[in-house]
Amino acid sequence: MSLSRLRFCALPVSIFLSGATAHAISYASRVISYTPGTANPTWSNPSASLGAASALTGENASASNYFGFPNILSPFSPAYQGDEIVQIGEGGQLTLGLSNFALVGAGKEIGVYTNVGLIDADYPNAVNTSPATRFGGGSANLSVSADNITWKSLGSITFDMPSLFFPNTSPYLTSPPPGPTFANFGLPMPSPFSCFDGQDWTNTQNCFQVSPNIWSAGGNWLDLSSTGLSQVGFIRFDIPVDANPINNVLSIDTIAINNADVGAAVPEPTTFILMPVAALLLARRRGC
């Protein structure tokens, strides 16, 4: 499969990083439910949020919102086609099942990648405004669950971080570079949005750098410790109906689990429902 279509639903998948090192990244792998609300029908395919992000955006002539101008996924060029992002509008919700449980501990366990793009003040030189400004992203009420039955709220979250796919290359390439280096979608973003303020392209990439030759792919990362859960297998975004026209939609590209917090595979949701029944039958057989 070419790099231009690096999006999969059978997970986890292997994303090859610089040199011969590989990491298995775990993503959302199933749509539990979706209500578009006021979302634009152009971006109403919830399966677009499953699996890995696409290395190229805008290259699929058979997908909605096609203009014939492909670009690598970069902080200045976010995903925008209907096979890459799904939109949630006011009165809408998206509930996704993860491929593996995210184990809750210290730090940030789940990354949410949206369609945030940085505004280039000196196109095509990739220079941020000061302070940095963005387009895309938005806010939603966020909840997580271990079993798709009991949900814990994380409150309203604003998603404002861009994505980086190929470090150390131009942000406006129309195809993946030869011998590419990859950012890691399973590493939390190390810097706040303010890191981009007034930065040129080299320093913009540095905002994603976790350690020498290792880059996060960006996104907004969630600390789940306040939920009291030991693991999370499901995530839900919902946008309430209000009179505020600002941030009334949110477009999801992909959901990833921190490499250090990947647990066992999440069973199908019906399995959770059957488990109490099986326990009851077993108890009866034992004469309890």
**Residue 7 in contact with residue 54, Cβ under 8 Å?**
yes
Residue whose C-alpha is closest to residue 256's, from 2, 11, 4, 19: 11
| Tokens at 199, concatenated | 């930065």
Q: What's the rounded Cα separation, in Å, for the pair 140 and 275?
A: 32
Q: What is the pLDDT along the chain (288 residues), one digit of tens a residue?
A: 344 344 533 333 333 333 323 357 999 999 999 999 999 999 999 999 999 999 999 999 999 999 999 999 999 999 999 999 999 999 999 999 999 999 999 999 999 999 999 999 999 999 999 999 999 999 999 999 999 999 999 999 999 999 999 999 999 999 999 999 999 999 999 999 999 999 999 999 999 999 999 999 999 999 999 999 999 999 999 999 986 766 589 999 999 999 999 999 999 886 555 455 444 444 444 444
| Tokens at 211, concatenated | 């350690």
Q: Give the list of residues 6+ apart from residue 67 with CB closer than 8 angstroms, or none.
A: 58
DSSP state of 282: H
Q: Enumerate the domain spans of the chain.
A: 3-285
Read off the amino acid at residue 197: D
Q: What's the rounded Cα separation, in Å, for the pair 184 and 256?
A: 10
> How high is the pLDDT of residue 176?
96
> How high is the pLDDT of residue 245?
64
> How high is the pLDDT of residue 247?
59
